[in-house]
């Protein structure tokens, strides 16, 4: 019989991979299980790119976590020699403060926390970014000068590779939900993979489930009505040949709250990425269709016509259907399972979680190993069965 691990992490996305690495760096023996592979095509941590930004309105904890996470991501990339962060900057297109308190609150947090930034008047926006059409919704801009884009799929792979190099045992295997008999004992001593293999933890060991959109399937009674999996579509459009206005040197990543849209420049020749951030229809990560809808393509083209007229006829060169695993507010779920003293739940990324992986790993390691206090907004208790989105 193999020696028990100090910790088992189920799911090798951004949350799980960073948690495994952090626990390993604190001297624990760790097994990291993944059913499909790091950054796979159905994962919320899959896909080519994710914005890493500091702007979170009045939700200062996420600004602090993003700042910490960017430092950790960059340290990892320096360590591995993989340049997987593009410092494009992130531009928030702002409205008058009486109708746009979110960006005004971000600006206040930036001043308080020392986030590098610039504010731009409407005239400065027009002069600096002539490729962006400014309708009446836009009155100013808030530019995060040191933020940018993470190359998501490859970044997760880099975390897992680093974790293995430092001692984490990576296991390519699927697992199911804990049984009711084990719950009665108030502790989970092992998990069983699909082929019947039992992987054990020691008497003080912890098991962390970081399974993204599958978390509700593993714990349906507990989370089935508290996680809302939504279908999300993203599109890449080819800029005109020889047109440098949409390259990273000329165009930052951007967030347009008035139109629930975001995007990023033409990175590595993949095309200009456009996403509509409003929550889509309910989605099953196993069986849901990943073919983009005509309506989604049309919405993206309409947005380009409004904001980037030079791209309104641009050809669609790539598209992807992914998912958000939303909590009621958009706050993360990072808490102990109420029926198992040694089981932890890590999920509810809600469309903005990827960037925070390093901070999530530190937070969970601190709670599990040091008994550090939890943040109430990450508690299971705070997750309701009715959505009232507050985090963007």
Summarised one tens digit per residue, pLDDT across range 278-327 is: 999 999 999 999 999 999 999 999 999 999 999 999 999 999 999 999 99
Six-digit token pair at 215? 């978390």
Cα dihedral 255→261→265→270 (10° resolution):
150
Whole-number pLDDT of residue 100: 87
Whole-number pLDDT of residue 97: 73
* % of the chain residues with pLDDT over 70: 98
Whole-number pLDDT of residue 51: 98
Q: Which residues contact 237 (CB under 8 A, 6 or more apart)?
A: 271, 272, 274, 300, 304, 311, 314, 315, 316, 317
Whole-number pLDDT of residue 183: 53
Cα separation, 57 vs 59, whole angstroms: 6
- Rounded to two decimals, the pTM is 0.97
Cα maximum dimension of the chain: 70
| CATH assignment, 5-46+153-223+329-378 | 3.50.50.60
Whole-number pLDDT of residue 176: 83
Whole-number pLDDT of residue 369: 98
Q: Report the CATH architecture of 72-148+228-326.
A: 2-Layer Sandwich (3.30)
Six-digit token pair at 49? 């790119």
Domain boundaries, the chain: 5-46+153-223+329-378, 72-148+228-326
Segments of the chain with pLDDT less than 50: 1
Domains 5-46+153-223+329-378 and 72-148+228-326 alike in fold: no
């Amino acid at each position: 019989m193999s020696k028990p691990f100090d910790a088992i992490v189920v799911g090798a996305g951004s949350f799980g991979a960073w948690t495994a690495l952090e626990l390993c760096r604190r001297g624990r023996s760790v097994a990291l299980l993944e059913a499909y592979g790091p950054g796979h095509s159905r994962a919320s941590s899959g896909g080519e790119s994710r914005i890493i930004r500091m702007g979170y309105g009045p939700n200062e904890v996420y600004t602090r976590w993003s700042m910490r996470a960017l430092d950790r991501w960059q340290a990892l990339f320096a360590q591995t020699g993989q340049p997987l962060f593009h410092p494009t900057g992130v531009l928030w297109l702002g409205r008058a403060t009486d109708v746009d308190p979110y960006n005004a609150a971000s600006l206040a947090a930036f001043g308080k926390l020392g986030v590098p930034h610039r504010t731009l008047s409407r005239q400065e926006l027009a002069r600096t970014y002539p490729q962006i059409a400014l309708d009446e919704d836009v009155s100013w801009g808030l530019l995060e000068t040191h933020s940018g884009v993470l190359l998501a799929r490859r970044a997760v792979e880099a975390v897992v590779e680093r974790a293995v190099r430092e001692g984490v045992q990576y296991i390519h295997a699927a697992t199911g939900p804990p049984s009711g008999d084990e719950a009665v004992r108030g502790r989970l001593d092992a998990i069983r993979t699909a082929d019947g293999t039992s992987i054990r933890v020691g008497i003080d060991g912890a098991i962390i489930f970081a399974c993204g959109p599958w978390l509700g399937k593993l714990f349906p009674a507990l989370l089935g009505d508290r996680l809302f999996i939504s279908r999300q579509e993203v599109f890449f459009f080819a800029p005109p040949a020889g047109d440098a206005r949409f390259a990273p040197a000329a165009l930052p990543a951007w967030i347009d709250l008035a139109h629930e849209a975001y995007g990023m420049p033409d990175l590595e020749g993949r095309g200009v990425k456009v996403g509509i951030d409003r929550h889509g229809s309910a989605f099953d990560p196993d069986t849901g269709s990943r073919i983009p809808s005509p309506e989604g393509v049309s919405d993206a083209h309409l947005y380009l016509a409004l904001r980037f007229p030079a791209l309104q006829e641009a050809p669609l060169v790539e598209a992807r259907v992914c998912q958000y695993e939303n909590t009621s507010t958009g706050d993360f779920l990072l808490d102990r399972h109420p029926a198992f003293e040694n089981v932890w739940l890590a999920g509810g990324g809600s469309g903005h979680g990827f960037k925070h992986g390093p901070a999530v790993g530190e937070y969970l390691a601190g709670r599990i190993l040091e008994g550090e206090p939890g943040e109430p907004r990450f508690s299971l208790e705070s997750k309701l069965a009715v959505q009232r989105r507050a985090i963007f």
